[in-house]
Amino acid sequence: MIKERVVSNSETTLNLPVLTREDIEARARSVREKFGLKSIPINPLTIAERVDIAVNNAKFFRESVAGAIARSGNKVVLLVNQSDAPYRKRFTIAHELGHYFLHLHGDGEFIDKEVNLFRQPKGDPNGWTPVQRAEYQANMFAAALLMPEDAVQKAWDETASLERLAREFNVSEQAMGIRLDQMGLLDEEKGREGKVAISFHKSVTAGWA
């Protein structure tokens, strides 16, 4: 049973891998290819089912909790906040799958508040705690899983519309805005849609959803 606590110095973060963005992109791409997920939007539930992870809606004691994943032996349980919007649940599932593929190689758990799941850590990355680093990696994995670079680039080249891409990939506009910014496709000065670029450049530090 998952106890409701936020991971701080849990054993699940003690041996945190050193991963670059390229490493995480490659890991997400490998997962999609392994399970034959080629069409957009990517369904993270399909991946969970293929690796025998039970995904359930949950009413958490604190509404600030967005999701959780726990592993005990061969059993893995993933919970999402039943009150969240569908696109948030999708990102939460993808985020928890990030913990599964990147961090949960033995027994342990991650319980994620919205402040961790939908926000970028502040300050110098060299000063991040293990938990902040783990959450950042899981967020990056979720973004790479749901919004593959090549598919995003192709769609952006065709439409350059953030709103249309968000609908196509079934993610929030904020999540797509961050992804486009990471890929260098949004620019306050040179964006192909200046107003959209400026608006979402301001929002990319706010969060994924």
pLDDT digits (tens, 9 = 90+) for 86-143: 999 999 999 999 999 999 988 999 999 887 765 667 777 777 888 888 999 999 999 9
The helix, strand and coil proportions of the chain, stated in percent and rounded to the nearest 5, come to 50, 15, 35
Which pLDDT belongs to residue 50? Answer: 96
The tokens for 137 are 């990696």
**Residue 113: which of 128, 127, 140, 92 has the closest Cα?**
92
Of 84-88, 111-115, 157-161, 204-208, the range with the lowest mean pLDDT is: 204-208
The tokens for 106 are 């033995």
Q: What is the pTM of this model?
A: 0.84
pLDDT digits (tens, 9 = 90+) for 22-53: 999 999 999 999 999 999 999 999 999 999 99
Could you give all domains of the chain from N- to C-terminal order, each with its CATH number? 11-146 (1.10.10.2910), 150-203 (no CATH)
**Beta partners for residue 68, in sequence order:** 79, 111
Neighbours of 148 (CB within 10 A): 21
